[in-house]
Amino acid sequence: MSEADNVRAMARGQLITLEGGEGAGKSTQAARLAARLRARDLAVTLTREPGGSPGAEAIRELLVKGDTDRWSATAETLLMYAARDDHIERRVAPALARGDVVVCDRFADSTRAYQGAGGGASEALIGALEGDMRARCWPDLTLIFDIEPAAGLARALGRAGAETRFEAKGPAFHERLRAAFLAIAKAEPERCTIIDAGQDVDLVEQAVWRAVDGRLRR
């Protein structure tokens, strides 16, 4: 058994990640999914990226605010992985070790989409950072929320108190994000399920539950 397999064997819980572009409704559905899981008497940790731990939340403030060109794609990638390292060590890994279902709003696929496909960060850099992290923690199931970028942006920009640094990066950026997430789903169909996020919120919740229910370890 490899080191990565040993790590996963010790992690008794499950990691479910929600991915997608801006305004896809991930945060709403993450909260609804966590509530459904708790109603099944499952221990649940609901978290997010960037963020989820005090150190990672501090880094989040650097990433989601300011001008769109505040950071280069390489700098953003390094900041994302600094936040992810702290998040995994202090929140995700302990939750998995005690048997929780961890529901995480964004994870490593967002770095591939936003900083990689969207921003142009080096594939080699992202691959090296991701390879190290995969040995520690990787999703059991990823739900990719797919929505037309223009519709998602209209939703996102209509939210009160919205963090708009990434929303403001322009239509072409958001089209690249969508294509990248769909490519990830195609490349890893055993892990990823595409959710039509343009539907009514209750229909999206039903689709999420159909995807999750059969994959739970009880």
Residue 10 has pLDDT above 60, yes or no: no
In this prediction, residue 161 carries a pLDDT of 63
Which is more confident, 110 or 159? 110
Residue 91: which residues within 8 A CB-CB, separation 6 or more? 45, 47, 52, 53, 56
Which is more confident, 159 or 135? 135
What is the C-alpha to C-alpha distance for residues 60 and 164, in angstroms, rounded to an integer? 13
In this prediction, residue 167 carries a pLDDT of 85
In this prediction, residue 94 carries a pLDDT of 97
* 136-186 pLDDT, tens digit each: 899 999 999 999 999 998 888 777 666 678 888 889 999 999 999 999 999
Edge-to-edge strand list for the sheet holding 44-48: 44-48, 101-105, 14-20, 141-146, 192-196
Residue 15 has pLDDT above 50, yes or no: yes
Whether 107 and 85 have beta carbons less than 8 Å apart is answered as no
Mean pLDDT of 46-52: 98
Whether 150 and 201 have beta carbons less than 8 Å apart is answered as no
Whole-model pTM?
0.91
Which is more confident, 126 or 170? 126
Phi, psi of 217 (to 5 degrees): -90, 115
What is the C-alpha to C-alpha distance for residues 86 and 63, in angstroms, rounded to an integer? 15
